[in-house]
Amino acid sequence: MGVSKSLAVVVPAYNEGDGLREFHQRLATVFDRLDLDCRVIYVDDGSADHTWRVMQALAADDGRVATLRLSRNFGKELAMTAGLDYADADAVVVIDADLQDPPELIPELLARWREGFDVVYGTRDVRAGESWLKRLTATAFYRLIGRISPTPIPADTGDFRLLDRRAHQALKQLRERHRFMKGLFAWVGYRQTALVYHRDPRHSGTSKFNYWKLWNFAIEGITSFSTVPLRLATYLGLLTALVAFVFGIWVVVKAMFFGDPVPGYPSLMAVILFLGGLQLLALGVIGEYLGRLFTESKQRPLYLLQTVEPARADAPAESRCGAESEGDTETGRQMRAGSSGQSSV
Ligand code: UDP
Ligand code: MG
């Protein structure tokens, strides 16, 4: 298609200094072969290593590189959000910096886009280099969320994907603080299609997601995209009330016909403890949602930017980054959080 079309690739990176050059080399090779106006936006998610220096060096060598640096580590979801807010192109691709998603697949994503799809997401067939436990828990999570979320979230699909301008603009309108991006991408809808690919092992470094983080991430996903746990608490309450009612009748009837020699301390304890446990569980579930409501209500900006290069003067007001004052590391630049947070919970 026309040369005038543009592509922006958003790359969130946290402590990826060792692998970033290799990544850029492979991406640049892909760019060179494309008939598009290409750009890559590296987002340094408050790395503690030399990631930012590598990004600066890459930007100095290659005019297609833009760099954003967050004021601290905000997590991958927000790093991606920062990059997506900055991006302004006909097609936007989100890709990990660790070379698990091969940049060489971008032309295939673009081919599907040209067929008329608004969102092309990468679905993994194999997860090379990942333990069986991670594969098992990931599969279980995708199955669960697939069942309880009214928004269909494709299984075995990470963040690696292409968004058409329309889908990208739509996504930018979702300003919720608890951002489960895989769900948000799906929520946008439009014409979506999958591209099945091999997910490679990490090029260097280690995964930033340990099991505790993944567990919290799973809770984030479930509470952001489903209210089924709340309903479950209701049903559980109903069920125990019913059982308690039947048990109560039995106790009364038994006392009427057989007298009451006051036994039953163990059963009493068991029932009290069981009900106490259930109540705490239900409270906990409600607390999860309440806590999320609490953070949403604070209306904080989603993230703060420390440095943006080059600053985008043409950015729409909603996503404009403050003008960059060179070397001014103290003043975090605030990206406007946009319209009132719409939660899809
Ligand atoms: N990442 C990030 N901020 C974080 C954690 C990770 O920007 O707090 C980036 C990371 O640099 C990588 C991508 O998110 O580019 C995926 O992270 P990772 O490879 O650790 O996750 P996994 O592939 O194991 O799910
Ligand atoms: Mg990875």
Q: What is the pLDDT of residues 175-209, one digit of tens each?
A: 888 888 888 888 888 989 998 888 777 777 777 77
Q: What pLDDT, on a 0 to 100 scale, did the predictor assign at position 265?
A: 72
What pLDDT band is residue 326 in, cutting at 50, 70 and 90? Answer: very low
DSSP string across 214-248: HHHHHHHHHHHH--HHHHHHHHHHHHHHHHHHHHH
The token duo for 200 is 């490679």
Rounded to whole angstroms, how far apart are CA atoms 335 and 302? 8
Q: What pLDDT, on a 0 to 100 scale, did the predictor assign at position 292?
A: 84
**Average pLDDT rounded to a whole number, residues 13-22:** 90
Q: What pLDDT, on a 0 to 100 scale, did the predictor assign at position 66?
A: 92
Q: What pLDDT, on a 0 to 100 scale, did the predictor assign at position 337?
A: 38
Average pLDDT of the chain, as a whole number:
81
Q: What percent of the chain has pLDDT over 90?
A: 32
Closest ligand relative to 96 C-alpha: 1
Q: Which atom of ligand 1 is nearest to the CA of 208?
A: 20
> Taking the model in full, what pTM does it have?
0.71
157 near 123, Cβ under 8 Å? yes
Rounded to whole angstroms, how far apart are CA atoms 206 and 53? 20
**Average pLDDT rounded to a whole number, residues 164-179:** 90
Q: What pLDDT, on a 0 to 100 scale, did the predictor assign at position 161?
A: 93
pLDDT digits over 225-238, tens only?
Answer: 888 888 888 888 78
What pLDDT band is residue 127 in, cutting at 50, 70 and 90? Answer: low
Q: Which among 98, 124, 160 is the best mutation to test ligand 1's pocket, defined by most ligand atoms within 8 Å of the CB?
A: 98
**Average pLDDT rounded to a whole number, residues 73-90:** 93
Q: Give the lowest-confidence range in 34-38, 79-83, 248-252.
A: 248-252
Q: Sheet with 192-199: list strands edge to edge.
A: 192-199, 119-127, 157-164, 91-94, 6-13, 37-44, 65-70, 304-309, 333-334
What pLDDT band is residue 165 in, cutting at 50, 70 and 90? Answer: very high
Whose C-alpha lies nearest to ligand 1, atom 24?
207
**Average pLDDT rounded to a whole number, residues 100-113:** 92
pLDDT digits over 267-298, tens only?
Answer: 787 778 788 877 888 888 888 888 888 888 88
Q: Tell me if 215 CB under 6 Å of ligand 1.
A: no
Q: Tell me if 45 CB under 6 Å of ligand 1.
A: yes
Specify which residues 164 forms β-bridges with.
Answer: 91
pLDDT at residue 322 is higher than 70: no
Q: What pLDDT, on a 0 to 100 scale, did the predictor assign at position 168?
A: 95
Q: Tell me if 153 CB under 6 Å of ligand 1.
A: no
Q: Give the lowest-confidence range in 84-93, 107-116, 268-277.
A: 268-277
